[in-house]
A and B are shown apart, each in its own frame.
Chain A
Amino acid sequence: MVLSLCLIMQFCEHPGQELQHSISWIPAIGASLSLSAGAGAAILVLLTAVVFPLIFIAQWQRPIENQSRFYGLMLLSQAGLMGVFLAHDLLLFYFFWELALIPVYFLCSLWGGEKRIRVTFKFFIYTFLGSLIMLSAIIWLYVQTPTRSFDYATILQTGQSLSFGTQQVFFWLLFIAFAIKMPLFPFHTWQPDTYEQSATPVTIVLSAVMVKMGLFAAYKWLLPVLPEGTAYWSQTVMVLSVTGIIYASLLAMVQSDLKRIVAYSSIAHVGLMSLGLFADTPVATNGFIFQMFNHGINITGMWLIVSMIEDRYKTRDLKALGGMSGAAPAIAISLVIIAFASIGLPLTNGFIGEFMLFLGVFQSANPNHIAFMVIAGLGIILGAIYTLNMVQKVAYGTPKTTLQIEKIRPGELFCLVIIIIIIIVLGVYPKLLLGLIG
């Protein structure tokens, strides 16, 4: 019943363009409950609305301890995430930002691997530190607004009118919070452990949707609000991004745990997205929004397959896996397609997104744009190496297990088919989504 309720809730939402809704909340300090769905926000709400039902459907036939608590917390985190994407008021944004964190903290700590409590606590402290640094920036920005308001327009105006030096300080206060959430090298150290230790449905929430909080926040609350500060520091951020791409890709190559490989690949993908965002050209920004959606879909597929493999083989170790194409062909084929999308082969959504990002970076006014492109391109090649290596070891080769491998279940098949349809449709006809971005 909880499940059906949530589905109804999600499909009742029709994210349109530039919907805006605002009511007064705390007039004494000029905060309002103001929601707005611009292009980026609408797409991320759509992503959230697609990913959560997929998680629930895939989870359908797998009983989990304390079901009602699990789904309750999942829905709470979903509410928080949608709030972050839609908030048009800085205080409200902060509210939802924290609200999304609390249920996820419980989800990660209650279900998952053995070391989960320590690991999750580290994750919580890390992001909470970021949040509070951001809070200090919010307070400071707020007391500078002429009318004492958190409204987006007012914040925009105030931020832009700050002096260059102040903008730089603000930039770092906000950027650190967002970078921890993304996570961007070198703020990523919480990520692989948390992804590895938490239960797969929660990992999907973390990597497919929560990561976008940081990216989206930078897109909506950092770049337009502090243009001069961003312009000055974007070079540094881009260096961090490409370093992250290479660093994470190299680490992914030597991992043997499936979850850790996907976790590091996620850091690399996020690095590419933030590279595009901070290149700050129209094409790159559109590609950035488009790729945020794609990455969410692809990585959801990836995690679903990892959890299916773990269910069947009782291990995530690459060395103990092999020959899945014979035992469970449907899963193996899906893995191949999703892996192609994740490394950005033509005809998949990843190709369009990455192409737009690269084109954008190429067009950017940054003096080192060619260097960034080359290094990021190298990262893509490394990505292809470890992803295909993983596919090869998992799907092909000789089976190394004596376990009876179960074929795909209907619920799982349904999820994978939906994901593959999205991958191919957006790969062939991206205008569907790009039209929405404008």
Chain B
Amino acid sequence: MKPLIASTLSGILMMFLALWVRDKSRVSTLALGLLVIVLGIDIWSLREVLSQNSALHFFSGMLIYDSFSLWFFTLMTGATLLYVLLCRKHIERVGQHVAEYYALIFFILSAINLLAGYGNLLILFLGIEIISIPQYVLAGSDKRNLKSSEASLKYFLMGAFSTGFLLMGIALLYGATGTFDIASLNLGSNGGDINILALTGIILLIVALGFKVSAAPMHFWTPDVYDGAPTPFTALMATIIKVALFVAFIRLFMNGFGLVNEHWKIVIAVVTALTLLIGNITAVFQQSVKRMLAYSSISQAGFMLFAVLANNAFSLKSIIIYSVAYTLATIGMFTILMKLKDYTYDGFNGLAKKDPMLALFGAIFIFSLAGIPLTAGFFAKWYVLTSVLEHDNNLLWLVLFALVMAVVSVFYYFKVIIAMYFKPGDTAMAHPVSAADRFYIGLTAALVILIGAMPNLLLYLIAPAQ
């Protein structure tokens, strides 16, 4: 319970702090301090669970802390810490209510805690709502900007709609099984059969969760919301929040519906193929790098859906690696983007001449997103694709399709490289790149390479979870 309490309390504390602390930069520093404390508490709880070698149950199994959920939460808190270090100046520039933004980020963290450890459908619902509402606010936080307000409203309306699906799905499952508890759903315990009520519930849950992780054809909100929201918050929504929702997705389908997978696997397979196709093909035609990254987040979601499809011991490992690889590279890329004045591809022209170091880091992030070896992105793709082929070969077609789509992704990712390195031009910077920025972006790039060379580092701690 400690990590959950710590992150929620930090959020409340941040809200009240705004009354006394007026200086924006001091607010950021305080938020960083609180994040470090939360991270410390995470690690403390993780050690506890690892040393006891058994999961902790709270509220009669509504919340379960095992080594996977705590390790994931620790990683995400670390990623948030890195995110705040990278983007603090930009968060401060968005508007007047900086302390509130940080408070919302802490509430998002507590929701991630629920999503990583829920053992009950109600907690899943709570987690998804708690993670969504701050996003509606953050997307609209740039109040003077029409696009930001539009993004917020659009996201809110569509999100409310998908919540309806989620609740209906949970209700149908309750009707079919008489319980909210995932461990006692008992679907498929009588030889894989399933009644139509539960199956409808599962399909509705696929729609709702697919909406949240922007899987096609539930993806239409993504480009507009990501494009309209202030860039620092887009970076948060596209990375940490998205992968947390994926973890919730995987846990539900593995622990709850794992035994009846032949009934839903084909649906997810089709959704995966659609997501890959639409995400990649549409991304090719974008002019703005911010919008391209929005579509790339859709196509990366397609790869993460493989972890749902795999439905075996490797799913959790692969989603951990994919989360970290994707989060690092995307946050890094967004940070570089925020430094530029012009968000189109042309805005990157000549960056390698103007700031070779920044261009090199950018190239590393792009390589990771495209899945080139020696970057974390390669192992991320490797793991999700291997995990899906681990027990049966039926999905080989999908793996081949995904790899062809990965070639398509090179078209839009490498446009950035071409602009940075081979096009003449003088990049217009919106904000100076300070030595601290350089250090943290470099650290992110170094982590991408380190995980790409030695993915063991991440797997070492997850191994006991299985």
Contact surface of A with B, Cβ cutoff 8 Å: 25-29, 94-95, 98-99, 102, 106, 109-110, 117, 121, 124-125, 128-129, 132-133, 135-136, 139-140, 142-143
Q: Chain B residues near A94 (CB, 8 Å)? A: 373
Check B374 against A139 for contact (C-beta < 8 Å).
no
Check A121 against B373 for contact (C-beta < 8 Å).
no
Q: A110-B421, A125-B411, A140-B399 are in contact. List 19 more A-B contacts (CB 8 A).
A: A28-B463, A94-B373, A95-B374, A99-B374, A109-B421, A125-B407, A129-B407, A132-B403, A133-B400, A135-B382, A135-B403, A136-B400, A139-B382, A139-B386, A139-B389, A140-B389, A140-B396, A142-B386, A143-B386
Q: Answer whether A128 and B389 are a contact pair too, CB < 8 Å, given A94-B373, A121-B418, A140-B396.
A: no
Q: Across the A-B interface, give the 4 residue pairs with the lowest CB-CB distance, nearest first.
A: A132-B403, A98-B373, A95-B373, A129-B407
Check A143 against B421 for contact (C-beta < 8 Å).
no
User: In chain B between 388 and 444, which residues have their CB closer than 8 angstroms to a CB of chain A?
Assistant: 389-390, 393, 396, 399-400, 403-404, 406-407, 410-411, 414, 418, 421-422
Q: Chain B residues near A25 (CB, 8 Å)? A: 454
Q: Chain A residues near B390 (CB, 8 Å)? A: 143
Q: Which of B393, B418, B455, B463 contacts A117 (CB 8 A)?
A: B418
How many B residues, CB 8 Å from partner?
Answer: 29
A332 to chain B, nearest CB (A): 37
A-B contact pairs, 12 of them (CB 8 A): A25-B454, A26-B456, A28-B459, A109-B421, A132-B403, A139-B382, A139-B385, A140-B389, A140-B393, A143-B386, A143-B389, A143-B390
Check A139 against B421 for contact (C-beta < 8 Å).
no
Q: Chain A residues near B463 (CB, 8 Å)? A: 28
Q: Chain A residues near B403 (CB, 8 Å)? A: 132-133, 135-136
Q: Chain B residues near A135 (CB, 8 Å)? A: 382, 403
Q: Which of A27, A117, A142 contacts B456 (CB 8 A)?
A: A27
Q: How far is the CA of A136 from the CA of B456 in the complex (A)?
A: 22
B308 to chain A, nearest CB (A): 18
Check A124 against B373 for contact (C-beta < 8 Å).
no
Check A102 against B414 for contact (C-beta < 8 Å).
no
Q: How far is the CA of A26 from the CA of B421 in the complex (A)?
A: 33
User: In chain B between 435 and 466, which residues have their CB closer than 8 angstroms to a CB of chain A?
Assistant: 454-456, 459, 463
Q: How far is the CA of A102 from the CA of B364 in the complex (A)?
A: 11
Q: Chain A residues near B367 (CB, 8 Å)? A: 102
Q: Chain A residues near B411 (CB, 8 Å)? A: 125
Closest to A126 in B: B407
Q: Chain B residues near A124 (CB, 8 Å)? A: 410, 414
User: In chain B between 338 and 375, which residues have their CB closer than 8 angstroms to a CB of chain A?
Assistant: 367, 372-374
Q: Which of B400, B407, B455 contacts A26 (CB 8 A)?
A: B455
Q: How far is the CA of A143 from the CA of B393 in the complex (A)?
A: 9
A118 to chain B, nearest CB (A): 10
Q: Chain A residues near B378 (CB, 8 Å)? A: 98
Q: How far is the CA of A123 from the CA of B463 in the complex (A)?
A: 40
Check A110 against B456 for contact (C-beta < 8 Å).
no
A375 to chain B, nearest CB (A): 34
Closest to B459 in A: A28
Q: Chain B residues near A139 (CB, 8 Å)? A: 382, 385-386, 389, 399
Check A136 against B399 for contact (C-beta < 8 Å).
yes
Check B422 against A117 for contact (C-beta < 8 Å).
yes
Check A128 against B407 for contact (C-beta < 8 Å).
yes
Q: Answer whether A109 and B410 are a contact pair too, CB < 8 Å, given A28-B456, A132-B404, A143-B386.
A: no
Check B373 against A106 for contact (C-beta < 8 Å).
no
Closest to B381 in A: A135
Q: Chain B residues near A106 (CB, 8 Å)? A: 421
Closest to A118 in B: B418
Check A109 against B459 for contact (C-beta < 8 Å).
no
Q: Chain A residues near B454 (CB, 8 Å)? A: 25-26
A146 to chain B, nearest CB (A): 13
Q: Chain B residues near A132 (CB, 8 Å)? A: 403-404, 406-407
Q: Chain A residues near B386 (CB, 8 Å)? A: 29, 139, 142-143
Q: Chain B residues near A98 (CB, 8 Å)? A: 372-374, 378
B19 to chain A, nearest CB (A): 50
Q: How far is the CA of A121 from the CA of B411 in the complex (A)?
A: 9
Closest to B391 in A: A143
Closest to B367 in A: A102
Q: How far is the CA of A142 from the CA of B390 in the complex (A)?
A: 9
A171 to chain B, nearest CB (A): 15
Closest to B460 in A: A28
Q: Chain A residues near B400 (CB, 8 Å)? A: 133, 136
Closest to A109 in B: B422
Closest to B458 in A: A28
A255 to chain B, nearest CB (A): 27
Q: Chain A residues near B421 (CB, 8 Å)? A: 106, 109-110
Q: How far is the CA of A28 from the CA of B396 in the complex (A)?
A: 23
Closest to B400 in A: A136
Q: How far is the CA of A124 from the CA of B372 in the complex (A)?
A: 12
Contact bitstring B61-100, A, C-beta under 8 A = 1, else 0? 0000000000000000000000000000000000000000
Closest to A117 in B: B422
A167 to chain B, nearest CB (A): 15
Q: How far is the CA of A121 from the CA of B415 in the complex (A)?
A: 10
A72 to chain B, nearest CB (A): 12
Residue of A27, A142, A143 contacting most chain B CB atoms (<10 Å): A143
Q: How far is the CA of A61 from the CA of B400 in the complex (A)?
A: 48
Q: Chain B residues near A109 (CB, 8 Å)? A: 418, 421-422
Q: How far is the CA of A250 from the CA of B400 in the complex (A)?
A: 36
Q: How far is the CA of A28 from the CA of B373 in the complex (A)?
A: 18
Check B407 against A110 for contact (C-beta < 8 Å).
no
Q: Chain A residues near B396 (CB, 8 Å)? A: 136, 140
Q: How far is the CA of A135 from the CA of B384 in the complex (A)?
A: 13
Residue of B373, B374, B456 contacting most chain A CB atoms (<10 Å): B373
A107 to chain B, nearest CB (A): 11
Q: Chain B residues near A133 (CB, 8 Å)? A: 400, 403
Q: Which of A26, A27, A29, A102 contacts B372 (CB 8 A)?
A: A102
Q: Which of A99, A117, A143 contacts B373 (CB 8 A)?
A: A99
Closest to B387 in A: A143
Q: How far is the CA of A98 from the CA of B379 in the complex (A)?
A: 13
B454 to chain A, nearest CB (A): 7
Q: How far is the CA of A117 from the CA of B378 in the complex (A)?
A: 25
Q: Chain A residues near B414 (CB, 8 Å)? A: 121, 124
Closest to A169 in B: B396
Q: Chain A residues near B382 (CB, 8 Å)? A: 135, 139
A137 to chain B, nearest CB (A): 10
Q: How far is the CA of A143 from the CA of B399 in the complex (A)?
A: 13
B222 to chain A, nearest CB (A): 25
Q: How far is the CA of A376 from the CA of B385 in the complex (A)?
A: 42
A159 to chain B, nearest CB (A): 16
Q: Chain A residues near B404 (CB, 8 Å)? A: 129, 132
Closest to B399 in A: A136
Q: How far is the CA of A124 from the CA of B385 in the complex (A)?
A: 23
